[in-house]
Amino acid sequence: MVLKEYSPYLEYKDGALHFDGVNLLKLAKEVGTPVYVYSANHIRDQIRAYKKAFLDALIAYAVKANFNLGVIKIAAEEGCGADTVSGGEIYRALKGGIPADKIVYAGVGKTDQELLFALEEDILMFNAESEMEIEVLNELAKSKGKKARIAVRVNPDVDPKTHPKIATGLKKSKFGIDIHKALEVYKRASSLPNIEVVGIHCHIGSQLLDLSPFGEAVEKIVDLYKRLKAEGIDIKYIDIGGGLGIKYKPEDRVPTPQDLADIVLPKLKGVEAQLILEPGRSIAGNGGILITQVQFLKEKDDKLFVIVDAGFNDLLRPAMYGSYHHIVSVREGKEKVVCDIVGPICETGDILGENREICKVERKDYLAILSAGAYGFVMSSHYNMRPRAAEVIVENGSYKVTRPRENWDYIIWEETP
Ligand code: LLP
């Protein structure tokens, strides 16, 4: 198993796993577990790979993947914008230093309060998902004496060939407006006094390892762009969403931003709009790991259970999508065991890894769950009254706790009776 294929900043040194130069054994002892650890260099490199492959594009980092303020700050420093899906994410993106004029806002259920907030902040554009949303936005913009810039999120009906729960561009999904109906919707939107039509948006799905669906979607978008142009509707931005897959299983072969550019850019020749991309997972996913500590070992029916202090409240992906996350021991060891790695939650489904071969571990040893930098902490919960994990950024041999571990009082927000 080649650790470096997950991240060039992940390696065993002096008997312990290191990330971005930091000894994780030491870090885990000092900060406690469970703890999410993000490599600043990994995240920067990913953003730079996008910027190099797509020279003039706006890279709007999808903050839903990892909204840690330290991570957003790195994205801001690298010149990224942000793709957001709620008022709260816009608020966070701004706090992390992303300028409002680089923020795009999608989502099928934006509330009036969220729309008004985004209008006040004067974000780059709303990626509108329904005709009714456009009408409401027009009214709200009018009440504020503003014009709302919009893209229509079109649903190109392509099969992204990914997990059904994260496929969004299919006809039957709740997202976007049917591409065949789009022209009509654009015409109506252009006639509204407080709406300025500026873009076309689409996002077909997440964790795509085969890039051909991107090609198919972009062809459909370019066709729409031309039809809109013929109607006198000027499109300034083409936003093709996120979705590039990352390595989860050791055998996964993963496309790069350059591979994506090779498919997409030739199809955009002659198009005079600025390209926007919304990568989330491919920026942060392999730039993060979750460290957890072994609490107990138990043998049952010839099966070895390694019981750790992270559960599906910390990392939901395995329980929710049946996702595979590779798990390695923080202390380097030679002897191997096969086991189920399970969390402390009161549900049978609280399994982080099934039938895994790992180095033989003992009570108080640490395990690192890889590819956990995207859709990890952000999907965590307080189920079973469990405080959420701490978050740490590592960079060139030093670390910083960007989000301290919560405690029980933090969770008890309600009034004591
Ligand atoms: N843009 C839009 C409009 C999106 O809905 C998403 C992800 C992205 C961009 C970023 O996609 P990415 O580059 O990260 O693939 N919780 C699931 C993933 C849900 C993705 C939702 N939308 C998981 O853990 O796999």
Note the pLDDT of residue 114. Answer: 98
Express each pLDDT in 201-231 by its tens digit. Answer: 999 999 999 999 999 999 999 999 999 999 9
Is residue 375 part of an annotated ligand binding site? yes
Q: Which architecture characterizes domain 3-38+285-412 according to CATH?
A: Beta Barrel (2.40)
Note the pLDDT of residue 160. Answer: 81
The whole-angstrom separation of Cα 202 and Cα 290 is: 31
Whether the CA torsion 103, 289, 20, 70 is positive or negative: it is positive
Q: Return the ligand 1 atom nearest residue 278 CA.
A: 9
Query: Model confidence at 1, in pLDDT bands (50, 70, 90)?
Result: low
What does the domain layout of the chain look like in residue ranges? 3-38+285-412, 106-279
- The CA 384 to ligand 1 mean position distance, Å, reads 27
Is 202 marked active-site?
no
- Ligand 1 mutation pick, 110, 152, 154, 278, max ligand atoms within 8 A of CB: 278
The whole-angstrom separation of Cα 316 and Cα 311 is: 8
Residue with the bigger pLDDT between 256 and 165: it is 256
Q: Which architecture characterizes domain 106-279 according to CATH?
A: Alpha-Beta Barrel (3.20)
Is residue 272 part of an annotated ligand binding site? no
Express each pLDDT in 94-140 by its tens digit. Answer: 999 999 999 999 999 999 999 999 999 999 999 999 999 999 999 99
Mean pLDDT on 23-45: 98
Note the pLDDT of residue 168. Answer: 72
Query: Model confidence at 192, in pLDDT bands (50, 70, 90)?
Result: very high
For the chain, give the percent of residues with pLDDT over 90. 94
DSSP string, 199-250: EEE---BSSBSS-HHHHHHHHHHHHHHHHHHHTT----EEE----B----ST
User: Is pLDDT of 346 > 80?
Assistant: yes
- The CA 335 to ligand 1 mean position distance, Å, reads 38
The whole-angstrom separation of Cα 200 and Cα 146 is: 21
Q: How many residues belong to the chain?
A: 417
Is residue 164 part of an annotated ligand binding site? no
Token duo for residue 257: 């931003």
Mean pLDDT on 166-184: 85
Mean pLDDT on 394-401: 98
In Å, the largest CA–CA distance within the chain is 71
For the chain, give the percent of residues with pLDDT over 70. 99
Closest residue by Cα to atom 18, ligand 1, is 166
Note the pLDDT of residue 169. Answer: 64
Mean pLDDT on 261-276: 97
Q: Is 169 exposed, middle or buried (0-12, 13-18, 19+ CB in 10 A)?
A: buried
The answer to pTM > 0.75 is yes
**Residue with tokens 């839903």, as numbered in its chain:** 64
Q: Return the ligand 1 atom nearest residue 375 CA.
A: 24
The domains spanning 3-38+285-412 and 106-279 adopt the same CATH topology = no
Report the chain's mean pLDDT, rounded to a whole number. Answer: 96
Other beta carbons less than 10 A from residue 121's beta carbon: 16
Closest residue by Cα to atom 9, ligand 1, is 242
Residue in 193, 59, 175 with CA at minimum distance from that of residue 128: 175
- The CA 278 to ligand 1 mean position distance, Å, reads 9
Q: Return the ligand 1 atom nearest residue 65 CA.
A: 14
- Which DSSP symbol is given to 406? P
- Residues with CB under 6 Å of ligand 1 are 62, 64-65, 83, 106, 166, 168, 203, 206-207, 241-244, 278-282, 317, 374-375
Note the pLDDT of residue 164. Answer: 73
DSSP element (H, E) containing 184: helix 182-191
Is residue 21 part of an annotated ligand binding site? no
- The CA 72 to ligand 1 mean position distance, Å, reads 16
Express each pLDDT in 57-67 by its tens digit. Answer: 999 999 999 99
The whole-angstrom separation of Cα 351 and Cα 79 is: 38
- The CA 168 to ligand 1 mean position distance, Å, reads 9
Q: Which residues contact 27 (CB under 8 A, 6 or more apart)?
A: 35, 37, 291, 392, 394, 399
